[in-house]
Structure 1
Amino acid sequence: MTPSTHRASVTLPDETTAKRAVDALSEAFFEDEAAFAAFERPDGRWDVTVHFAAAPDQALLRELVGQAVGPDAAAAMAFDTIEAKDWVKASLEDLIPVPAGRFVVHGQHDRQRIPPNKLGIEIEAALAFGTGHHGTTRGCLLLLDHVLKSRQPRRVLDLGTGTGVLAIAAAKARHGRVLASDIDAPSVRVAEENAQLNVSGHLVDVIRATGFAAPQFATQGPFDLVLANILANPLRQLAGPMALHLAPAGRVILSGLLTHQAPSVIAAYRARGLVPLRHLRIDGWSSLLLRAVK
């Protein structure tokens, strides 16, 4: 049972303003006093939220935000209390099976409901990102299914694997090995556990790495297929290293970007010799399939 928490939130016009607000607030509280989150909305604005175990001083918070980004933002701050709840139980109740081409992502409670002609991928709510219910994960799975209808990529990489859902899907569909990486140690552990749960532990090699900075990328590449469900900015920054680690005519599936961010990501990869083949839009998010022209 998660105890009740107190929440302060405000919507700001852009990423720069949101970062100034978070910086100002985080300097005023110790790590164990508050938890901060900032997310971009589909309309380009940013939601900043702060969670407190104890009721915060609302006047102080408004003053800090006002000094950082202006009085209008301070006046627009909202405060509420999130009541105690068994969030794990609630999450599992909401996680209905998600079909995506030949794949169905499901929780343990739906294990017996998967059609025999589908590939079930069992993923529980966890610390890592990717239960299959987000538009980006579903978009990647649909594009993976599309690729596998005409190609059997031999060397596959899941960059920023999260729960490991994409790596597991690629391994089960191909009956072949997949290299999966994540910058986050808990995600690496979760992905390894999920691979074992899905009887794919012998096929999915999970490593902790930032970008392409690990020797396994050189020894196990170049890759015929790379899946990267991350965020727009890291995807743009990885365009160069991605191209260097691709096999001739290799495919890349990218997601984690809002639809309005897709053109800039496509441009970054075009500049590195990759051309777009498909563009899926699901719930305001984009998933891209690109091909190396060399």
Structure 2
Amino acid sequence: MMGQNIERKIIGILRVLSGAGEPIGANLIARQLRHLGIVLDGRTVRYHLKIMDEQGLTKKEGREGRLITPKGLSELEDALVSDRVGLIITQIESLSYQVTFNPWKKEGKVILNTSLIKKDKFKEALSIIKRVLKSRIGMSILVICRQEGERIGDLVIPKGEIGLGTVCSITINGILLKEGIPVEAKLGGIVQVSDFVPQRFTELVTYGGSTLDPLEIFMQSNMTSVLNAVGAGSGKILANLREIPAVALDKAEVILEGLKQIGLAGTVIVGRPGQPVLEVSPGLDRVGIVVLGGLNPLAAVEESGIKTESKAISTLVNFSELRPIEEIK
């Protein structure tokens, strides 16, 4: 029986391959493993791939590429619960640390959610996304759009699809961290909106005990009503909560205001020290900060009957690659 540390690496490689959609090599796998908190060089990945080929979990495609096999997909599905639990918080912490964006210089890397939309549905989906972002039910009006064969970070856009990258709200965690403010990602959930104002969390999932991003879970479970929130002012939308030390509140508010000025923070709700924010209480001498999720526009697209393949907290890109949503045609 393989050791738990080795199995974690194997499962990580299988996760990367399952999400690639095409054959990829050891060096690219190694880069994507870092997003899962697994640090391996290309040579070590090749060693594991050779063993995985022999076990029937992967197969060679071309000179260097690998694909996951049906057996590999089954193994991934049956992965140890102890290995999977907490994986999302590891990914959050890893990507937050890698954020380099400087709001004063307007340069550096930010975190994106990625979505794949069928070409023949993209125009209709884009109209919905623009409507949602115009209403500020999202993280940012800045996006990336790529055609088949192009890349959004590590993601290669498959044939017949258009890729869209929306700024992930976890980017704020990384920016605050780089400015010297400790940030703890607490939970993701559903927020009730009434009269166009966010009122309270109605569903909550903590990041520390979840395998997947909670906002992804709620979106895939059809638990949102973003279109109602945009049109009638009453509905359920995606949001997440992080906490910072109360002593850092003044500095954090200056940073958040700066982010709003450059279109990188849509609706942000900042609590007071020790006081509930949207009816969720922070820890002692802590402040809660709620940010509306970057996946809200895609949740609205799903509500309209258009299927997407969306992944939260997906990849890192340079801020310079982002464009206002209104420029996307």
Decide: shared fold, TM above 0.5.
no
What TM-score, normalized to structure 1?
0.30
